[in-house]
């Protein structure tokens, strides 16, 4: 079976830590969610994952977001496109729309942001050409034929590690969006 393990630097960037000791009591400072997702041919079936992701962000960051975000609907649309984009991309390009193949979706919530990780059963993110394309697009985000997947380049960081795609979104970017 394949794994989804983010680089430590990405976890550090979002302020993620498994636990923190406060006196004699361990208190969680980071939340990790990993799930196996079925491969669907239509991205409409991935909407439930997007809804869970947005609800979890609002729950985790609470008042920081609701009191600070100027347009909550715009933030929700941005986050929705990220989840739908990465899931659909993994199903289509990684798993070749094979419903027998799974996708691993992971979310790490830290004090400073969120890390989204995705890994499919294909070799898409293992290819050197794809890693190079992701790195070029990070530096040159304008594209004459944008797709739903292109929204990830508006996140704070996009990287590939161990055959998985990782997208970093810092809380300050949700409060003061670039998009």
One DSSP character per residue, the chain reads: -------HHHHHHTT--SEEEETTEEEE--EEEEEEEE--SSGGGGHHHHHHHHHHHHHHHTHHHHTT-S-HHHHHHHHHHHHHHHHHHIIIIISTT-TTSEEEEEEEE-SSEEEEEEEESSSGGG-HHHHHHHHHHHH----SS--GGGGGGGSSEEEEETTEEEEEEEHHHHHS---
Say what the pLDDT of residue 178 is.
Answer: 60
Stretches where the chain sits below pLDDT 70 are 1-2, 19-29, 66-70, 138-150, 176-179
Task: Locate the domains of the chain by residue range.
Answer: 8-19+27-175
The pLDDT of residue 146: 55
Which pLDDT score, from 0 to 100, does residue 58 have? Answer: 85
Q: Which fold has domain 8-19+27-175?
A: Heat Shock Protein 90 (3.30.565)
Q: pLDDT > 70: what percent of the chain?
A: 80
Report pLDDT for 174.
Answer: 79
The pLDDT of residue 177 is 62
pLDDT attached to residue 129: 86
* Per-residue pLDDT reduced to its tens digit, 113-153: 999 999 999 988 888 888 888 877 765 555 555 565 667 77
């Amino acid at each position: 079976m394949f794994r989804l393990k983010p680089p430590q630097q990405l976890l550090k960037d979002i302020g993620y830590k498994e636990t923190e000791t406060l006196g004699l009591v361990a208190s969680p400072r980071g939340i990790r969610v990993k799930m196996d997702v079925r491969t669907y041919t239509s991205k409409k079936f991935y909407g439930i994952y997007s809804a869970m992701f947005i609800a979890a962000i609002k729950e985790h960051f609470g008042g920081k977001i609701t009191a600070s975000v100027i347009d909550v609907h715009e933030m929700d649309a941005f986050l929705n496109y990220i989840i739908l984009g990465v899931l659909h991309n993994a199903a289509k390009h990684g798993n070749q729309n094979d419903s027998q193949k799974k996708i691993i979706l992971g979310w790490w919530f830290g004090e400073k942001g969120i890390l989204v990780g995705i890994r499919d059963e294909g070799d898409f993110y293992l290819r050197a050409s794809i890693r190079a394309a992701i790195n070029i697009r990070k530096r040159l985000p304008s594209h004459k034929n944008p797709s739903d997947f292109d929204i990830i380049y508006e996140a704070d960081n996009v990287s590939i590690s161990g055959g998985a795609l990782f997208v970093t979104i810092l809380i300050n970017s949700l409060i003061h969006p670039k998009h």
